[in-house]
Chains A and B, each alone.
Chain A
Amino acid sequence: MALDEAFLRAGEPRPTLRFYTWRPDTLSLGYFQRWADLAGQEQAGAVVRRLTGGGAIHHAAELTFSIAASAAHPLFQGEVRASYERIHDALAAALLPLGVAAARRGERPVASDDPRSAMCFRHSTAVDLVWNGAKGVGSAQRRTGGRVLHHGSIKIGTTPIEGPIATLGARVPDLDPRRLASLLETALAARWGASFRREDPSPAELEHALARASFYSSPAHLRRR
């Protein structure tokens, strides 16, 4: 989380695309969610509160990615909804070689929707990516000072906290998250000309991240609402 914040704040002119997985498995709250509205904190290996909005996610069997860029970048220009459509359409193209036909949900709710849940994957909107009648990608953004941080979570498997959602593992057993990351980067570059930086984080970004490393899992931040 702290490294994503550093990428958001640093002002690097080229977009930054970062892929990661989690150890231990971690439950992340959306920025404005109420701690008391959540269930499952004690079942997760760790808990953090994200910088981005939306619902909670149990990061276990999944590939997580973040994109940090100027709000003027073609991926993010204009309405938030439009930027979701661009990123989700690239994601859908990335999943095709895996034999997964993901598509924007459209107007009809899906089987994974549960209005009583505080979990991201149990709520869907028209622009969310679904397959097999359920939501399979979680997305959220933070916009500040003319820059955007986009968080994406692509489910390879599910957990008892997440419940019944769409997963890639159901179609592709033993899917390597690195293969998925490569497919996604290629699809984003092909569709949106997104030329991502290739090097490691800068010393300033690392310094920023280290200074903020403990903030996102601090009790005060977790229980701020």
Chain B
Amino acid sequence: MRPDDRKYTRTHEWVKIDGDSALVGITDFAVQELCSGNEGDLVYCDLPEPGRALEVGETFGEIESVKAVADLNAPIAGTVLEVNVEIEEHLEVLANDPFGRGWMVKIQPKSKSIDGSDLLDAAAYEKHVATQEH
């Protein structure tokens, strides 16, 4: 079971409310899809500049593995406060700790609550992932 202290998107991003801000990252499933367990296959991650305003679903960055480029989509609307610079130098963090040290951006949410959105809780995300696995 993935952490139930956050919400998930159908495109495999997560968002966790952290005080007045929110942390955003991608799930272990997203990482596995890209690199099949070989963390060395992740080659580049492009993240936004702080200050950028994001709408729900907007592409906020891109990640490249040896074989594919994938867009990163914003789970919530808000303004980018901070970017995890550790990722750009150490992409293996995404494979080793996607729900912790592998956070990508910290956002100032536009809305104080993320309830009632299209986001999935952990149980619903597990079901969604089960439909995606081959």
Indicate if B69 sits at the interface (CB-CB under 8 A): yes
Q: Does A15 lie at the interface of the complex (its beta carbon under 8 Å from any beta carbon of B)?
A: no
B1-39 interface bits toward A, Cβ cutoff 8 Å, 1 = contact, 0 = none: 000000000110000000000000000000011101000
Cα of A143 to Cα of B10 in the assembled complex, Å: 13
Is A81 in the interface zone, CB < 8 Å from B? Answer: yes
B112 within 8 A of A: no
Is B111 an interface position by the 8 A CB rule? Answer: no
Main SS class of interface, A: loop
> Which of B62, B73, B133 lies in contact with A78, CB distance below 8 A?
B133
Picked from B11, B32, B70, B131, the residue with its CB within 8 Å of the CB of A79 is B32
Q: Which of A31, A81, A142 is packed against the most chain B CB atoms within 10 Å?
A: A81
Residues of A within 8 A of B34 (CB): 79-80
Which residues of chain A have C-beta atoms less than 8 A from B33's C-beta?
78-80, 143
CB <8 Å contact, A143 and B71:
yes
Residue pair A53, B67 in contact (C-beta under 8 Å): yes
Q: Tell me, yes or no, whether B134 is within 8 Å of chain A by CB.
A: yes
Interface residues of B in 21-65 (CB under 8 A from A): 32-34, 36, 43-44, 46, 57, 59, 62, 64-65
Instruction: Known A72-B132, A141-B68, A143-B69; judge A32-B36 contact (CB<8 A).
Output: no
Count A interface residues, CB 8 Å. 26
Quick check: is B66 within 8 A (CB to CB) of the other chain?
yes
The answer to whether A145 touches B11, judged by C-beta atoms less than 8 angstroms apart, is: yes
Check A52 against B134 for contact (C-beta < 8 Å).
no
A90 CB to closest chain B CB, in angstroms? Answer: 16
Chain A proximity of B10: nearest CB distance (Å): 7
Given A72-B132, A144-B59, A146-B11, are A80 and B44 neighbors across the interface (CB < 8 Å)? Answer: no
Interface residues of A in 62-116 (CB under 8 A from B): 71-72, 74, 77-82, 84
Beta-carbon contact of A80 and B68 below 8 Å: yes
Smallest distance from the beta carbon of A86 to chain B beta carbons, Å?
9
B57: nearest residue on chain A (CB-CB)?
A145
Which of A54, A71, A80 neighbours the largest number of chain B CB atoms within 10 Å of its CB?
A80
Q: Mark A46-60, 1 if CB is under 8 A from B, else 0.
A: 000001111000000
Q: How far is the CB of B66 from chain A (nearest CB, A)?
A: 6
A125 contacts the other chain (CB 8 A): yes
A144 neighbours in B (Cβ, 8 Å)? 59, 70-71
Show 24 A/B contacts (Cβ-Cβ < 8 Å), sorted by A. A31-B64, A32-B46, A52-B68, A53-B65, A53-B69, A54-B67, A72-B131, A74-B134, A78-B33, A78-B132, A78-B133, A78-B134, A79-B32, A81-B36, A82-B134, A125-B67, A140-B69, A141-B68, A141-B69, A143-B71, A144-B59, A145-B11, A145-B73, A146-B10
A sample of 5 more A-B contacts (CB under 8 A), given A74-B134, A144-B70, A145-B71, is A32-B64, A53-B69, A80-B33, A143-B33, A143-B70
**Interface residue ranges, B against A (CB under 8 Å):** 10-11, 32-34, 36, 43-44, 46, 57, 59, 62, 64-71, 73, 131-134
